[in-house]
Amino acid sequence: MKRTSVNPWSWSLKLGYHQAEILEDIKRQLVCAGQTSVDAQGNPQHTDDMRGQMALALENLEAVLEAAGMSLSNITRLNIYTTDMDETMEHFDVLGAGFGAFNATPPMTLLGVTRLAIPTLMFEIEATAAD
């Protein structure tokens, strides 16, 4: 897969994402469901701990990608949902560290929501990946 970033402005690069990417020569595309802070049985973890929830949601996303033979470097689009925007931004380095290890800066949207499907969850991340 060939990726060409599109950034008419540079401000988003400081936050770790491109405004857009042109994708060419795609063999496979993976559409992931939203990943949250749950264990292998689907039980919520890290109640009242945004940093813990973000880290586990990212680990769960990596597990889905790995099961498909991919990694964070294959992500072409991120949608992030949070019930507390300020708390999420305070701990955004969790995502930066995960994606930074792959030098990945996929286009993303961060959206504040009233609640997620399970009331104790505060953070959800969904992705599209390709190779």
Q: Which CATH architecture describes the domain 33-130? A: 2-Layer Sandwich (3.30)
Q: What is the pLDDT of residue 14?
A: 87
Give the domain ranges of the chain: 33-130
Which of 126, 131, 129, 99 has the alpha carbon at shortest distance from 36? Answer: 126
End-to-end CA distance of the chain: 5
Using 50, 70 and 90 to split pLDDT, how confident is the model at 99?
Answer: very high
The three-point CA angle 123-126-131 to 5° equals 145
Average pLDDT over residues 6-16: 91
Q: What is the pLDDT of residue 15?
A: 85
Alpha helix segments (H runs only) across the chain: 11-15, 50-67, 85-90, 93-100
Q: What is the pLDDT of residue 42?
A: 95
From the CB of residue 36, how many other CB atoms can be counted at a distance below 10 Å?
26
Chain center to CA of 102: 13
Average pLDDT over residues 98-109: 94
Q: What is the tens place of the pLDDT at every residue in 45-77?
A: 999 999 999 999 999 999 999 999 999 999 999
